[in-house]
Amino acid sequence: MNKIRTILSAIVIATAVTGTAYADGNLKPFILANSEGSDMASAVSAVKEKLTAAGFTIAGEYSPYPSATIIAITDNELKSAAAKTDFGAFGVSARVTLTKGKDGGIQVAYTNPEYYGAAYRMDSNLSDVNAKLASTLGNKGEYGPASGLSAKDLEDYQYKWLMPYFTDRLELADFDSQAKAVKTVEANLKAGKSGTSEVYRIDLPGGKATVFGVAMKGTKDEECAGDKYIMSRIDFKKIRSTGHLPYEIVVKGGIAYALPAEFRIAISFPDLSMMGSNSFASIMCAPGAIQATLEAVAGGSSS
């Protein structure tokens, strides 16, 4: 905790001098889709039918809190692109979200494949996936930060000085084999270790990697790892960024990996302020808590 506070303080000072670490661009993390009424159950059913008819595979779904449902999807193009590059596996799943707005209507949205494809350095701009989602669910425009990021900015993204890049991945646990690593992670998720559960499992072609979507409720010791805890503090705009969830664990070469929260949260909320209300400072405890939770799931240390 003290280390995180020291880094945050240094970043605040540096930001006053250097400003933001990226240039304005034309990609944003989320895309608003067509509305599906006000009944969540009916809307979820209708959206799932459309996705399946369009050729998407529904890998899993969950509700991190009563006002939201997240549907994790993939298809052959996403799987193929994810398998072509080192750790492109983090982008194998797109998320379609349904979130109750304050007006009672349901905001339907999905993660922008081109945005996350660039951020995760995938060997495809995934424009075809984007087009298929748009024709299936509609496209009312990209949203998230006030200004977008170019693909070049995303490929080398860093929120602020001292914050991690995509390449600064966490090694959660190391196993003798890929099979043992996958089995351990899946068993721990099914057991609900550290307040977690499995949202989805996606195996990449050729057995190159397995990706787990991880729901986190938080525990008494690691409350601020919880999805609801985090999103209640940073997802405050009128159009919600629910597609930030769920977190991923990638198992590759017998090692379980995750993206550090300082990158994984920032890539979904690149315009989130460092200090003040609804800021990174409001979830200062989250990076350590998330890492401890995912390490426990992977079979590593939870200290």
The answer to whether residue 301 scores a pLDDT higher than 50 is no
Query: In this predicted structure, what is the pLDDT of residue 300?
Result: 62
Residue, of 51 and 2, whose pLDDT is higher: 51
pLDDT digits (tens, 9 = 90+) for 207-248: 889 999 999 999 988 899 999 999 999 999 999 999 999 999
DSSP-derived 3-state class of residue 104: coil
Torsion, Cα of 99, 101, 107, 111 (10° steps): -60
Is the CB of residue 244 less than 8 Å from the CB of residue 269? yes
Residue 187, token pair as written in the block: 């068993």
Is the CB of residue 233 less than 8 Å from the CB of residue 283? yes
Rounded distance between C-alpha atoms, residue 110 and residue 40, angstroms: 16
The answer to whether residue 11 scores a pLDDT higher than 60 is no
Residues 6+ apart with CB under 8 A from 300: 172, 173, 256
Superfamily of domain 2-298: TT1751-like domain (3.30.310.70)
pTM to 2 decimal places: 0.90
Q: Return the percentage of the chain with pLDDT > 90, whole number.
A: 80
Tokens 């426990």: give the residue. 296
Rounded distance between C-alpha atoms, residue 178 and residue 272, angstroms: 37
Work out the pLDDT band at 37, boundaries 50, 70, 90.
Answer: confident
Write down the domain spans for the chain: 2-298
Least confident span in 20-34, 80-94, 111-125, 195-209: 20-34
Torsion, Cα of 181, 186, 189, 194 (10° steps): -10
Query: In this predicted structure, what is the pLDDT of residue 162?
Result: 87
- In Å, the largest CA–CA distance within the chain is 52
Residues 6+ apart with CB under 8 A from 159: 21, 262, 263, 266, 270
Q: Is the peptide bond before 64 cis (omega within 30 degrees of 0)?
A: no
Least confident span in 91-100, 123-132, 255-264, 292-301: 292-301
105: number of Cβ within 10 Å: 14
The answer to whether residue 135 scores a pLDDT higher than 90 is yes
Least confident span in 13-22, 25-34, 119-128, 236-245: 13-22
Could you give the count of Cα atoms lying within 13 Å of 188 in the half-sphere of its Cβ?
A: 27
Q: What is the DSSP string of 70-91?
A: EEEEE-HHHHHHHHHSTTGGGG
Rounded distance between C-alpha atoms, residue 224 and residue 233, angstroms: 10
Per-residue pLDDT, averaged over 170-175, amounts to 97
Residue 303, token pair as written in the block: 């200290």
Tokens 């599906």: give the residue. 36
Task: Provide the pairing of β-strand 247-252 with 57-65.
Answer: unpaired
Query: In this predicted structure, what is the pLDDT of residue 104?
Result: 85
Measure the N-to-C terminal CA separation of the chain; round to a whole number of Å.
13
The answer to whether residue 97 scores a pLDDT higher than 70 is yes
Query: In this predicted structure, what is the pLDDT of residue 156?
Result: 96
DSSP-derived 3-state class of residue 256: strand
The answer to whether residue 7 scores a pLDDT higher than 50 is no
Residue among 113, 56, 116, 111 at smallest CA distance from 87: 116
Per-residue pLDDT, averaged over 262-289, amounts to 93
Residues 6+ apart with CB under 8 A from 112: 27, 28, 29, 30, 31, 130, 142
Residue 106, token pair as written in the block: 């349901």
pLDDT digits (tens, 9 = 90+) for 143-156: 999 889 999 999 99
